Amino acid sequence: MRKIAEVLRLKWQEQGSAREIARSFGIGRTTVVAQYLARAAAEGLSWPLPEGLDAAALERRLFGDPEQKLPGQRVAPDWQAVHRELRGKGVTLALLWQEYQERHPDGWQYSQFCAHYRDWRGRLDIVMRQVHRSGEKLFVDYAGHTAAVVDPTTGQVRQAQVFVAVLGASNYTYAEATWSQQLPDWIGAHVRALAFFGGVPEVIVPDNLRSAVNRAHRYEPDLNPTYQDFATHYGCAVIPARARKPRDKAKAEGAVLLVERWILARLRHRTCFSLVELNAAIAELLTGLNARPFKKLDGSRLSHFERLERPALRPLPPHPYEYAEWRQVRVPANLHIAVDGHYYSVPHPLIKRQLDVRLSAGTVEVLHQGHRVASHPRSHQRGGYTTVADHLPAAHRQYLDWTPERIVAWAGTIGPHTLAFIEHLLLTRPHPQQGFNACFGVLRLGQAHGEARLEAACARALASGASSYRSLASILDKGLDRRPLAGAAPAAPPIAHANVRGSKYYH
């Protein structure tokens, strides 16, 4: 039962607008103004309504008996009920007409039933017919049906998704199968679709799937950063269809239906053993689909594309888009951001700042507020470091100039015992760089106590087997370097092993 009385109350008593009333009841504004309010005014009704006029009586007074006899003794169905029933899954006009015929054998035949319903439905709401300019819009979506691919080794069946793209003006269609609707497949399908069309449209209209839109919004949808990066590379705009507004992407809906009926349905009995084989079959049938003559227009999708659409498309860029993912990171105190287990340096003024990272197959780009601040070759070495010297403060950069060879050479200028001590520090670490800090500490001890005392302290440390920076510092602090040794201290490292590299390794 229609809530006509409540609509009249909100309009006449509460002074609500037709738009607000229509939104509150989920009905069209035309229904509120043209039908309810206009019919009530024509019947001379006002608020409050006359006593005894219930909802059923009010509806009969405004709209008459839903199954009143029409001229020629035909019985009109309740079109509101027909329209409501059609929203049910699997319900068709043919089924509703059969039920109507069972109740009224002398009623309309099927063609008249459908014609009267379309006429009634056309008065519900006025829909703007969209006219698309050549080269303006490309509509993209995934088909609801999938295609089976059989593993030739195991016999396992895997379902592939079917991507569909259609140009607005010519209806020229592209389709391909991908393993998923995830971002890499989504972007890859776009790249191949634009290569198929040989040009770029002004606007791409996708649905609100996750690979395209992070957050749907009527006016400002939040696009996936990779999808936006793709659009920037090709110089086009992405304008997602509004949520729950299928008319915004009617071209895509029609193309999907066409691909399902003329391609996927024909492949239902064909067994494909790889995605490449499936896409080859789709491409073969797609050629025939685009060449099929229109029923109500001259030419075909292909001829309209060649004549109208192709000249209007923008040229493709010199290189296709290289897939890249985007991350957000915060710069830690060591100035190296972690990306997939590897660490990359960024300029030191950006410490504690949040940055955007663009990851392609071979490059790691770091951006701050849209400006690139660092770029590194991508490395897959987990736990490794990639450092640019200019990114570090001046106090840190001096350490990058040190090498094991330079440290050993410095130690040799002081004396053989200092040389042996430094080599021991470097050789007992898995990586020589891990002994740099201890070597620098030895350097500072020589500056503080003198090189002669450092040489004597190293000789005592080697003789006693206490070959660590702390032991050396303790010898100097307690003055043990001034005491004579019980015997001559060897000048060679105390460790003798086939894997020990020795001082010649660094020359």
Specify the pLDDT at position 414: 85
Cα–Cα distance, 347 to 429 (Å, whole number): 30
Q: 129 lies in a domain?
A: no
Domain count, the chain: 4
* Same domain, yes or no: 389 and 337: yes
Instruction: Read off φ and ψ for residue 98, nearest 5 degrees.
Output: -60, -40
Domain boundary among 312, 341, 370: 312
Specify the pLDDT at position 209: 67
Evaluate if residue 506 carries a pLDDT over 70: no
Specify the pLDDT at position 215: 58
Evaluate if residue 472 carries a pLDDT over 70: yes
Bridge partner residues of 293 (DSSP)? 300
What digits encode the pLDDT tens for the residues 242-274? 655 555 567 778 888 888 888 888 888 889 999
Evaluate if residue 150 carries a pLDDT over 50: yes
Most confident region among 344-348, 385-389, 430-434 by mean pLDDT = 344-348
- E strand intervals along 297-391: 325-330, 336-339, 342-345, 354-359, 363-368, 371-377, 385-386
Specify the pLDDT at position 95: 83
DSSP per residue, 199-266: SB-SEEE----TTTEEE--SSS-EE-HHHHHHHHHHT-EE-PPPTT-GGGGHHHHHHHHHHIIIIITT
Among 73-82, 224-233, 351-360, 456-465, the least confident range = 73-82
DSSP per residue, 20-34: HHHHHHT--HHIIII
* Same domain, yes or no: 429 and 477: yes
Averaged pLDDT score across all residues of the chain = 78
Specify the pLDDT at position 269: 85
The mean pLDDT value for 227-240 works out to 85
* Same domain, yes or no: 11 and 63: yes
* Same domain, yes or no: 109 and 203: no
Specify the pLDDT at position 462: 86
Domain boundary among 371, 393, 415: 393
170: DSSP letter: T
Residue 304 pLDDT grade (very low, low, confident, very high; cuts 50, 70, 90): confident
Specify the pLDDT at position 27: 67
* Same domain, yes or no: 377 and 467: no
Evaluate if residue 487 carries a pLDDT over 70: no
Residue 10 pLDDT grade (very low, low, confident, very high; cuts 50, 70, 90): confident
Evaluate if residue 153 carries a pLDDT over 60: yes
* Same domain, yes or no: 280 and 219: yes
What digits encode the pLDDT tens for the residues 419-433? 888 888 877 765 555
* Same domain, yes or no: 150 and 283: yes
Evaluate if residue 126 carries a pLDDT over 50: no
Q: 320 lies in a domain?
A: no
Does residue 97 or residue 88 have the better pLDDT? 97
* Same domain, yes or no: 175 and 306: yes
Most confident region among 82-91, 206-215, 277-286, 305-314 by mean pLDDT = 277-286
Q: 99 lies in a domain?
A: yes
* Same domain, yes or no: 306 and 354: no
Specify the pLDDT at position 476: 87
Domain that holds residue 413: 402-506
The mean pLDDT value for 90-100 works out to 81
Structure-block tokens of residue 237: 């705009």
**Contact status, residue 150 vs residue 262, Cβ threshold 8 Å:** no
Compute the C-alpha angle 83/88/89, nearest 5°: 140
Evaluate if residue 502 carries a pLDDT over 60: no
Instruction: Read off φ and ψ for residue 53, nearest 5 degrees.
Output: -90, 90
* Same domain, yes or no: 219 and 180: yes
Q: 382 lies in a domain?
A: yes
Residue 160 pLDDT grade (very low, low, confident, very high; cuts 50, 70, 90): very high
* Same domain, yes or no: 385 and 410: no
Does residue 138 or residue 211 have the better pLDDT? 138
Does residue 219 or residue 215 have the better pLDDT? 215
The mean pLDDT value for 122-130 works out to 51
Residue 127 pLDDT grade (very low, low, confident, very high; cuts 50, 70, 90): very low
Residue 398 pLDDT grade (very low, low, confident, very high; cuts 50, 70, 90): low
Percent of the chain with pLDDT over 90: 12
Domain boundary among 93, 122, 151: 122
* Same domain, yes or no: 166 and 94: no
Among 77-81, 143-147, 175-179, the least confident range = 77-81
Specify the pLDDT at position 424: 83
Q: 132 lies in a domain?
A: no
Percent of the chain with pLDDT over 70: 77
272: DSSP letter: -
Report the CATH number that the domain containing residue 208 is assigned in CATH. Answer: 3.30.420.10
Q: 127 lies in a domain?
A: no
Specify the pLDDT at position 431: 52
**Contact status, residue 278 vs residue 149, Cβ threshold 8 Å:** yes
Does residue 404 or residue 474 have the better pLDDT? 474
Q: 317 lies in a domain?
A: no
Q: 131 lies in a domain?
A: no
